[in-house]
Amino acid sequence: MSFVVPIGPQHPALEEPEHFRVTVEGEEIVDVDFRLGYMHRGIERAFQEKTFGRALYLAERICGICSGIHTIACVETIEQLAGIEAPRRARYIRTIVAELERVHSHMLWAGIAAHEIGFMTLFHLLWRDREHVMDVLEMLTGNRVNYAANKIGGVRFDIKPKHLGKISKVLDKLEKDTLHYADVFTSDQTILARCEGEGILSKKDALKLTTVGPTARASGVDFDVRRDDPYSAYDELDVDVKTATEGDVLANAKVRLLETLEAINIIRNAVDQMPEGEISVKVPKELPEGQASNRVEAPRGELFYHFKSEGGEKPARGKVRTPTLANIPAIIEKLKGETVAEIPIVVASIDPCFCCTERVTVVDKDTGESRIVTKKEMREKRQ
């Protein structure tokens, strides 16, 4: 006999409200369904009410953890529309901030993964050491979360010689810490018992379900936007893409910790190779008519931006596809065959961000205008 177990929208294992309907036979999960929309904020529609410069502030608030990479994707898309390119030094600074953010995001995820399996000591240690990279971000940008580092045509701050000593010292410490945590994740019996062989996603399924980021690379998909479709300064820097073949929760952890070490190497190389020069260029107030698309490698995977301009100061349409949206189908596949007890860590293995996923708007069939979805429409759709 099968039963449906509701997980969410409010549940201790979920950092954000989401609703999973898990069908079980005994303890075994045989099917999963989910609902989106609990964190809808109408940001895509709000783009149309702002100038291109103001749209950047909205993009930065789509996700608190990935605020920096959202602004890089946003400004580089708008720069394509404007027909301009940020100075080379600015592109290097963007890359450094993006990789610092990747380190803090992956360490945050590792702490949450430890929390989900009840390893509270490891959770506190990881988040303690993550503070060091947050300190560097605050030193460079003045902020720990929404950095406001990027602007159309360049960046808002420069990396000065007085910053280099602090950056080098913190990177050395983070490298030592990450090597230690990589050893813990691959040797501790508690972690191995809860993560090894759990939530398996094969390479075939990862490709079929259009999985992205560390979740895909943990299943053997050798793709990373930084290397394969470079942006910012990645075309001038070597990116060693980390993959695994097991496709389980432990492989997700391995890939993210190895990516943390690689991010540290990229930051060092970017600091050493960073050219002199300007950090911004002038931007026209009004943009020409046209459309532009752009993708970047956020900590969770491929992040896609699209802007349409009909000429003027405001976008006619803005579209964002976040990596979690691409990875949600993988959750269903990873949960099948698992037990109810493994739901928290398997869901956490894709590093979901439901807040940045849910920017739902609808397009009016008669006028073609996009608008905010009403609560009534959401209820009718769910029914």
Write out the binding residues for Fe cation.
66, 356
Q: What does the CA dihedral 333, 214, 220, 346 come to, rounded to 10 degrees?
A: -30
The annotated binding site is made up of 44, 63, 66, 320, 353, 356
Return d(Cα 292, Cα 149) in angstroms, integer: 22
The annotated binding site for Ni(2+) is made up of 63, 66, 353
Question: Torsions phi, psi of 6, nearest 5?
Answer: -80, 130
Return d(Cα 101, Cα 365) in angstroms, integer: 40
Query: Residues 97, 141: contact at Cβ < 8 Å?
Result: yes
Query: Residues 264, 100: contact at Cβ < 8 Å?
Result: no
| Residue whose C-alpha is closest to residue 178's, from 83, 103, 289, 95 | 103
Query: Residues 314, 299: contact at Cβ < 8 Å?
Result: no
| Residue whose C-alpha is closest to residue 99's, from 237, 228, 206 | 237
**Which CA distances in Å does 151 have to 74, 92, 139, 143, 340?**
9, 14, 18, 15, 46
The annotated binding site for Mg(2+) is made up of 44, 320
